[in-house]
């Protein structure tokens, strides 16, 4: 298909010029080829990114877990999924997004530039989904409340009082892992939580309930066992166990850091669970710092010693700052009255 200009006047024998249009299919193919070269993306990713409504929140949650742990193995363990399956799901998300989000190297996993951009938005997306679900459920069941508590803490007297005063309410009490208090609240798994400081409290309402002394936990045959008290100088060279990916502020509080002179505490073995900590202490590999009331059910081969000159641990009731539930307000009142120390009765 084409067209020709008429023969030029005054120029016998001079023909007009003819032009030909390339077939539509060839032009479109050339345009697509040019477009492909203009997009900076790996061949395995589709450049067509879906609308946000098409994103699978489960895949987004997997990505956030890997980004937080910076390690596929630890993230898989936290999510309770197999590592090969987690890797496949992350690749699926990257294909949906049209960009590589994570890079692996011998030292672990790091975010790409695209991953750095996506992470805060992914976290906001998960928060919004959790809030939407929680608010919808609350509207459908206004008489339900979930009270959380972390290890070694008792909420029974206040929970019983809430049930007595609000017999038609569905009141639940659930255990929350020591390292998940903020996630449990922000993720709306619980409506109120009794836990220990330190804790990131931005966006939270905090009510201090009582204080507990911090004590040293040692094996029965440790050189310090039987002492009436110890000082920081007494334990200056004693190694303390470490938790992987522990919050730095929380870790410093329970390791009594920095020590005099700005030194960190000596490092003991890395542990994954509280039970492992007590086994390591009993075997003489380390000592530990604990809240006084948390040692009531201590193993028979362990003992505690008061520590002089350190501030106590504080037990608090934490709720979301925007929480308006009448049941949460009632529980706060009962907690302040009934949860006043380790030896509460109800």
Domain ranges of the chain: 52-128, 142-208+314-338, 214-311
Q: Do domains 142-208+314-338 and 214-311 have the same CATH topology?
A: yes
Q: What is the pTM of this model?
A: 0.62
Superfamily classification of domain 142-208+314-338? Periplasmic binding protein-like II (3.40.190.10)
Q: What is the mean pLDDT of residues 190-211?
A: 95
CB neighbour class for 322 (10 Å; exposed up to 12, middle 13-18, buried from 19): exposed
Task: Write down the pLDDT at residue 106.
Answer: 75
Query: Is residue 269 predicted with pLDDT exceeding 60?
Result: yes
Q: What is the mean pLDDT of residues 109-120?
A: 92
**Overall CATH class of domain 52-128:** mainly alpha
192, 318 Cβ separation under 8 angstroms? yes
Superfamily classification of domain 214-311? Periplasmic binding protein-like II (3.40.190.10)
Query: Is residue 195 predicted with pLDDT exceeding 90?
Result: yes
Unique residue bearing structure tokens 């029974």? 156
| CA 90 – CA 86 distance, rounded (Å) | 6
| CA 47 – CA 125 distance, rounded (Å) | 22
For residue 198, whether the previous peptide bond is cis, meaning omega lies within 30 degrees of 0, is: yes
Which comes out higher in pLDDT, residue 105 or 158? 158
| CA 38 – CA 72 distance, rounded (Å) | 32
| CA 248 – CA 198 distance, rounded (Å) | 10
| CA 174 – CA 120 distance, rounded (Å) | 29
149, 193 Cβ separation under 8 angstroms? yes
Q: What is the mean pLDDT of residues 59-78?
A: 91
Confidence of residue 345 (pLDDT cuts 50, 70, 90): very low
Query: Is residue 9 predicted with pLDDT exceeding 80?
Result: no
Which comes out higher in pLDDT, residue 285 or 25? 285
| CA 249 – CA 254 distance, rounded (Å) | 9
| CA 231 – CA 310 distance, rounded (Å) | 9
Q: Residue 20 contacts by C-beta under 8 Å, 6 or more apart in sequence? A: 1, 2
Joined tokens for residue 179: 């390292």
318, 290, 337: which is closest to 194 by C-alpha?
318
Query: Is residue 292 predicted with pLDDT exceeding 50?
Result: yes
Confidence of residue 343 (pLDDT cuts 50, 70, 90): low
Unique residue bearing structure tokens 């909420």? 155
| CA 321 – CA 15 distance, rounded (Å) | 85
Task: Write down the pLDDT at residue 12.
Answer: 45
């Amino acid at each position: 298909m084409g067209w020709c200009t008429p023969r030029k006047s005054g120029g016998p024998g001079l023909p007009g010029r003819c032009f030909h249009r390339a077939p539509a299919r060839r032009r479109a193919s050339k345009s697509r080829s040019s477009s492909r070269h203009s997009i900076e993306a790996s061949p395995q990713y589709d450049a067509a990114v879906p609308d946000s409504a098409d994103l699978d929140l489960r895949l987004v949650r997997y990505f956030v877990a890997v980004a937080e742990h910076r390690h596929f193995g630890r993230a898989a363990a936290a999510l309770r999924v197999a590592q090969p399956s987690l890797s496949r799901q992350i690749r699926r998300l990257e294909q949906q997004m049209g960009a590589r989000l994570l890079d692996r190297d011998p030292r672990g996993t790091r975010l790409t530039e695209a991953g750095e951009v996506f992470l805060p938005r992914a976290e906001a997306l998960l928060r919004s989904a959790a809030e939407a679900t929680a608010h919808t459920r609350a509207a459908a069941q206004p008489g339900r409340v979930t009270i959380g508590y972390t290890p070694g803490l008792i909420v029974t007297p206040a929970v019983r009082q809430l049930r007595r005063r609000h017999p038609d309410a569905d009141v639940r009490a659930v255990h929350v892992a020591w390292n998940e208090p903020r996630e449990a609240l922000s993720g709306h798994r619980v409506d109120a939580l009794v836990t220990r400081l330190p804790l990131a409290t931005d966006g939270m309402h905090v009510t201090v309930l009582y204080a507990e002394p911090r004590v040293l936990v040692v094996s029965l045959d440790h050189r310090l066992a039987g002492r009436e008290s110890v000082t920081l100088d007494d334990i200056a060279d004693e190694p303390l166990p470490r938790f992987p990916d522990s919050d730095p502020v929380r870790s410093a509080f329970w390791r009594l850091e920095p020590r005099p002179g700005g030194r960190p505490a000596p490092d003991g073995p890395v542990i994954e669970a509280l039970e492992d900590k007590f086994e390591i202490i009993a075997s003489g590999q380390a000592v530990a710092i604990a809240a006084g009331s948390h040692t009531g059910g201590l193993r028979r081969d362990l003992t505690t010693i008061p520590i002089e000159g350190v501030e106590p641990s504080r037990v608090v009731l934490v709720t979301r700052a925007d929480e308006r539930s009448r049941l949460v307000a009632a529980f706060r009142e009962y907690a302040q009255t009934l949860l006043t120390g380790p030896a509460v009765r109800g």
